[in-house]
Structure 1
């Protein structure tokens, strides 16, 4: 039987009457669409951990949308809280009833994706006695689809200590935070600020924050939250940020010996002010603001990273590259420190500028600086920055920096630094990541790089990675070492997959059948290789016909060969600068490749007659083009044109190509008609002349002229009559 302790607290008959390990406190408003998800996500904790659930009802049964009744099925206690625009007071109402050693709080518009890591933590006594605060992740969604979100680490689970309470009418937080911290990989979905209610919530937050600041103008946490709600995207937002930030920093300057928490919030205000000025490209003013307020702040490493990023932007846009470079290196130094001190990193981390402190940002900043140095060919500066970068474990972030560093190492003839980078990014088996091959290809394509010398440079790297083996074979091409290098490649069973696709062209050039390096590839792998080969040869289009011919000489026909040839010739023929002569030379080969490929994978009956509608449009097009070319060779022009038009009907992408052939035929036909008309005109004149000669009895003199007319106008009846008259007279 349910029972009510007093007018404000409802208690389940199964509620705990003694201490437990974990209290979960849930604020319930009117979130009927999400509360079920929330409570179900908590069920494993309630069932598998010594715990209790305290629900704080902020709306009352009479105004509830049904959320309260749902919550009752899970709750141990429900406390009625008269809403007074004070989130800390609402949290404290739940905290007051807590019997747990630990306290976890959550809202009814949030739910855990899974709680396995929390279960592991609370079922391990060594862990939950060792730590005092647990952080988990939260995805704050910015759209209803859940595809855009900001991830933060939030300390919403804490060991209860005497005097602990929530502070802050809005964006409340614990009054005390105790080390050591533990971060678990559980995460919460939060849709609180998307949809129709988001604007109202933001307006409510601004109102509560401003009211709090009237009561306590030196509350830096409230100032920071106010500015975070504005953003800096629009002129109006930036105007508000600048106005409120200046007021807040004036208040901060008057605080005697501000503690670390106040310092952190003051830095947030300072950073928002800089961001607003940077968004307006007011570089000089931003630098003045930095110089004015930075001495007032005692920055920790996390904040140094944020400020390094902002200062770099100011200096690089002020054309002060040397000073900008210092801040990139300082960022790297501070980030290194944070990665070595994980607990301190967790303590210092701020959800306001989380994306500003990450490997992505570190390598993004570095790439931006290196691009500037590359333009000025400051190769030694590039290498100096490269020496400081944390390459190990950063493979997914190095796509911009690695090619520049590779180029700098080549120009400076510094193989050592590239060797060190390779050792850091290679896996345990010594295999280099795909990005290494992509970077090598990018450098080879640079107009200022001698490709042969660069290949020789890369080939010297101490690595047995397949990509390096290929570079060594390329370097040995047309030398006595080539056979040995190729033997090593074959022994290593290197496949022609990306980024090893260079191997294919190497094999073809040296008249080596590529089958052993291709036959085991999956369709997806081979398609990626084909696409890459086509991309490479698209940049040297004129070489495609000769390369295709070499392939046909070395490699026997098969579906993979025909697919590659079809793709290469498609790229060649469908190029915007193709000439009509080039179309006529290669169109037949292309059509043969299309049909040959189709014959290896489709039933013969699908390719006959009008062709099956089940076939891809390019296949149907190729079939009719092949037929058209056969008709042209047989001098059946009408059928040739009909087949071309039929092929175009199935494959509109070929419109420009086929219409050029049709136009050429029309122009040729038109010219012939003009020639025929001119011949007829001349013939008429000669006929009159011959007739007059015959009338004068000059039959012998007329005979050669009649023969010329017969040759000029074959089948002409009037010429035949003249011939009869001529010989009758004779």
Structure 2
């Protein structure tokens, strides 16, 4: 280990591998690169742990410093660290070196390194750490910076996942300082040895995010190496230098230069991984500029790169430290989605182009984004009534004769988004043709069919539930008048919530049908927490929709409040629900307060009703539109009542004047008849008693 002036971390480094020294036959050689006079105390700390201290006069050459220590080594394996690095846990290393079947059959260990970017040691960049290696006579380090251990042919590398290395050498100002130092060392060495491909590569990589500098250095490197006839397409360093130039062209949007370079590159390079990196740069531009034919070609080359990693069971970053992240499964599936969109915009025969791509996608390669591409592919094929392609897709998702949940979930995504009856009928016909074993598929195929209770029990496995994507079990039961309770029991609330969300989304495509569907649910399914949760969510979706007539909304609002209250009473203490306690979830409190407001409205206590409505709104802001509609309707009703009362008062005053006139004319009998009519119009008028006495006098 090289020891410099890192008194802040050096002991942590030593302590991290001390258990290894104590439990595995080994020796610790510390290379002092500063000397006692200039040391900050790190060398004294090293003396407490090291079996041997090698003094090295620093000359800006890391390889020479490491070789000074390597010459003293007697072991068969070498671990080389710096004093700003330490193992998180040496236990997995001890385990490895305790087993001959491991250390005798592997010649290198790799693990992850967390290279921290902040002093808090929270943010970091993950890199591969492969500095644990078997060594042979003649092994040596080369290159004064970013040194490499040469003279070893690696056959088997052991990926140690149970631990990792901490690295704090490039935090804050240290990063700039070290980068500047490394650049100076490399410049000096390249002046002496301009044919050093490895240092040119490191020099280019050192440009970081400065695209112009990266392109400038890579072009200089290519020109220099070509002039010395070192442009060997069989050497990885040359390939990666060339790739850096193409990365520069792509980032600076120099598309014509990129096209020329990619053509040259693909002509010379046969390795699928590096070919994939090259076309990744092409795919980083707007595909409309490339066109369908070229985009398809690039994507197929990218397929080959991803499959190359899969077949060789290698992580892309193991193949190339510099370009490993350019080859990924999620990027592959993103590219396919972009290609589908391109075809839909640009081609008159869009589906034919899309179908060709569907048939070539390496569906066996899993990634979370695969599901999106599968859903799009199924949707295109179903819309075109292409049963053969739907069948092809299903076959790619069958394992041991069983259709995967992933496939059925994507069918469900399509089903949920269907808006018209015609599209629904087409969808049902297409999935009916899928011939594969799956309870979830059977449920989807029978979602809109007549199914007896016996057929349900006999067709599905024991223990089947309505857990997504089986939420159509509710529809099958309800529409065939069976209680679905046995399919919702023992389902976690998280899964209940997910299935209910899918049901509500599907029913939202036909909002007018929600009240009828909810009513049918109530007619066949006894009151349970799951039923009431579903009903509350269905009715919530209905009543919060502004396009619904308020009269219909009011009918369903009362039922929503009742469903939510029954649901809450099954979960929370009754006294909390009675008082609409602040301990309850906001929507439960809203439903309780809203329900009280609706009852007050029905009883014509409008002032108190408005108070509760305002309180409900403050509790649940999502209800703003609904509450405002109801408040506006109440205020309109109040204005109408005031207007009617005012009109009645005006008419009453006219009639009272007529009655007084008739009495003054001695027509008391006629006045009494008119007074009886007035009592019907304004029964609370305080003048009625006086007028009645006058009529009788």
**Helix, strand or coil: the match of 2:28?**
strand
Equivalent residue in structure 1 for 2:366, among 386, 394, 398: 394
Work out whether residues 194 and 225 of structure 2, in 8 Å CA contact, stay in contact via their aligned partners in 1.
no
- Of the three residues 600, 619, 626, the one matched with 1:657 is 626
1:323 aligns with 2:294: yes
Pair 1:287 & 2:256 matched: no
* CA distances 1:558-610 after superposition (whole Å, capped 9, x unpaired): 112112222222333334545533431222111111211122223333333x4
Deviates more, 1:208-217 or 1:441-450: 441-450
Match of 1:107, SS state, is: coil
Query: Residue 201 of structure 1 corresponds to which residue in structure 2?
Result: 178
Aligned equivalent of 1:614? 583
Is 1:461 aligned with 2:430?
A: no
| Pick aligned residue for 1:90 from 53, 65, 70 | 65
Aligned residue for 2:274? 303
1:359 aligned to 2:335?
Answer: no
8 Å contact from structure 2 (residues 391, 434) kept in 1? yes
Aligned to 2:146, the other structure's residue is in SS state coil
Does 2:603 align with 1:626?
Answer: no
Change (3 A) 1:518 1:71: farther
Contact 2:232/2:238 (<8 A) preserved: no
Deviation at 1:498, TM superposition (A): 1.2
The 5-angstrom pairing of residues 29-178 of structure 1 reads 29-32=4-7, 34-61=9-36, 64=39, 67-114=42-89, 118-119=93-94, 121-125=96-100, 127-142=102-117, 150-178=125-153
What root-mean-square deviation, in Å, do the aligned CA atoms of Structure 1 and Structure 2 show? 3.4
Q: Is the contact made by 2:28 and 2:49 (CA closer than 8 Å) also made in structure 1? A: yes
> Hey, what does 1:250 align to over in structure 2?
223
Distance 1:328-1:702 versus aligned 2 partners, 3 A rule: same
Contact 1:300 1:348 (C-alpha < 8 Å) held by counterparts? no
Please tell me whether the aligned partners of residues 562 and 597 of structure 1 are also in contact (alpha carbons under 8 angstroms).
yes
* 8 Å contact kept, 1:459–1:468: no
C-alpha change, 1:314 and 1:596, in structure 2 (3 Å) is closer
Is residue 349 of structure 1 aligned with residue 323 of structure 2? no
Whole-angstrom distance in 1 between the partners of 2:553 and 2:291: 53
Partner residue in 2 for 1:494: 464
- Report how many aligned residue pairs link the two structures: 691
Check whether the contact 1:41–1:112 (CA below 8 A) recurs between aligned residues: yes
Q: After TM superposition, give the deviation of residue 49 of structure 1 in Å.
A: 3.0
Measured after TM superposition, the shift of residue 672 of structure 1 is 1.6
Tell me if the contact between 2:594 and 2:613 (Cα under 8 Å) persists in the aligned partners. Answer: yes
How many Å separate the matches in 2 of 1:148 and 1:380? 47
Contact 2:316 2:324 survives alignment (8 Å): no
Output one character per residue of 1:358-415: Cα deviation in whole Å (capped at 9) or x when no partner: 3333333333323433554633443433444333351534122211332344356655
8 Å contact 1:28–1:68 — kept in the other structure? yes
What is the alpha-carbon distance in structure 2 between the residues aligned to residue 138 and residue 60 of structure 1?
29
Give the Cα separation in 2 of the matches to 1:342 and 1:599.
Answer: 54
Q: SS at 1:47's partner residue?
A: helix
| Counterpart for residue 204 of structure 2 | 227
Provide closer, same or farther for how the CA distance between residues 598 and 410 of structure 1 changes in structure 2, counting only shifts above 3 A.
closer
Aligned partners of 2:409, 2:219: CA distance in 1, in Å? 48
Unpaired segments ≥5 residues, structure 2: none
CA, structure 1 residues 96+415, in 2 after alignment: closer, same or farther (shift >3 Å)? Answer: farther
Cα distance in structure 2, aligned partners of 1:30 and 1:317? 55
> Does the CA-based 8 Å contact 1:315-1:324 persist in structure 2?
no
Q: Which runs of 5+ in 1 are unaligned?
A: 1-25
TM-score, with normalisation over the residues of structure 2?
A: 0.88
TM-aligned CA deviation for residue 204 of structure 1: 3.3
Paired residues of 1:473 and 1:482 also in contact (CA < 8 A)? no
Q: Which residue of 1 aligns with 2:310?
A: 339
Q: Say if 2:274 and 2:305, in contact at 8 Å, map to a contact too.
A: no
